[in-house]
Amino acid sequence: MIIRIRKDINSIYLHTGCVAGIFSMLVFSLTDFNLHIGANGLYFFLLCALAVSSAHTRLHKGLEPTYLPKLKPGRAAALRAAVIIVLALCVIINGGALAGKYFFSSFDRNRPSDKTDTAKLAALNSDVRKASLFDPLNAKYYYTSGLIERRLGNADASITLFDYAATLDPMNGEYLQRLGLSLFEKGRTEAGDRLIRAATIHDAANPDRQRFYAVHLFMAGRKEAAAGSVRRALIMAPDRAADFIILMMLRGMTDDEIRRTLPDLAAPHIAFAEYLAQTNKHAAAEQAFREALGYASIEKSTSRDYFLRAYNYYVKREHFDDALWTMKQAIILFPNDGSLYYTIGTLYERLGMDTTAIDAYKKAVSLDVTQADAQKRMEVLMRKAGKRD
């Protein structure tokens, strides 16, 4: 390395720092796309330039200004031409991307609804097609155009566009599943099923892919396989359980089948219990709430919301013993939550247990000074108790 013969200490330090920075950015690039950020890319090339300059530039008068060998005129011209070509390509590619975004912006501003007429859809599709002409490597434009063609009833055109989008971005599960569904509807059932299933593998962490696959399986009459897909989706997104429960209900699954499909997590079982309550199946709802609270009590990252939802149900049904037990369990898990003591205090007060209610309100205020309602209720009960005395 030429830096070994340098004697200028500043050049050596500068070169060492630049090499360290270059190495660090390259290591970071193994786990993130940091060079996709323009400023980071410019800084990376600045470090490269400084590293070369510090290693080869000579500062003393009377010496050759650089250790770098001089390029022959022919090579210098070829290098300049190559640089110009690269810059031109960058301008064309980035300019096309900007033009594509400009034409696609009309679709973003006027996204079609179920009531959008054919003429409006055709106009939007024209703008999206223009976007794909200027930016032919952007899969989103072909996919969007395919969706519009599908709305317009042009099945073959939509399949061609979905296929091109999936070719440009083969790891996008949404593109794969939409293409698979279109092929399935055209009678190419094996290819369609394979693509829809492949999306759940390539985009395994996305519950929407599992949901799409589940709907496909339901429509194909494969209820057990669909239930398995729903279960996998609920493990990934337990807070979306209400949506999946409605899906299973609409697809003809019984309450017992739905319950068996749910994973051993509190959120899906709470949602199932609330669904049963809304359909006036209260005996089953109470059993579902008990199961849900059992899971909530052993989950590492449980939520007090599970207990409050069960508590509200029990209070509405005037099952006060169950409501009291629920809040006591919540307090065991969240002993420093003042709002829980306030909630159980209101229940004690409703049951006529004023002394116990006062103690609960005191605890709520001691844990959370912002519990103004607890303070007011405590003062009211204390005045009430004083008058009785």
CA atoms of 311 and 324, how far apart (whole Å): 8
| The predicted structure's pLDDT at residue 41 | 86
Q: What stretch of H or E contains 261?
A: helix 255-261
Strand, helix or coil at 66?
Answer: strand
184-213 residue pLDDT tens = 999 999 999 999 999 999 888 899 999 999
302-318 residue pLDDT tens = 999 999 999 999 999 99
CA atoms of 268 and 227, how far apart (whole Å): 14
- Name the region of 281 (left: φ>0; alpha: ψ -120 to 50; beta: rest): beta
Per the model's pLDDT, the better-predicted residue between 195 and 30 turns out to be 195
What confidence tier does 387 reach under pLDDT thresholds 50, 70, 90? low
CB burial string 108-119: b at 16+ within 10 A, e below = eeeeeeeeeeee
CA atoms of 117 and 121, how far apart (whole Å): 6
CA atoms of 152 and 150, how far apart (whole Å): 5
Q: Which of 141-150, 313-322, 363-372 bottoms out in mean pLDDT, i.e. has the lowest?
A: 363-372
Helix and strand numbers, DSSP H then E, in the chain: 19, 0
| The predicted structure's pLDDT at residue 71 | 58
Task: With beta carbons less than 8 A apart as the criterion, state whether 365 and 329 touch.
Answer: no
- Name the region of 111 (left: φ>0; alpha: ψ -120 to 50; beta: rest): beta
93-103 residue pLDDT tens = 889 999 999 99
Which residues are 57's β-sheet partners?
A: 66
Radius of gyration of the chain measured on its C-alpha atoms: 33
Task: With beta carbons less than 8 A apart as the criterion, state whether 376 and 365 touch.
Answer: no
Nearest to 134 by CA among 88, 180, 167, 103: 103
> Cα 87 to the chain's mean position, in Å?
36
Task: With beta carbons less than 8 A apart as the criterion, state whether 273 and 288 touch.
Answer: yes
**Whose structure tokens read 């897909």?**
229
Strand, helix or coil at 172?
Answer: coil
What would the two tokens of residue 79 be?
């290098």
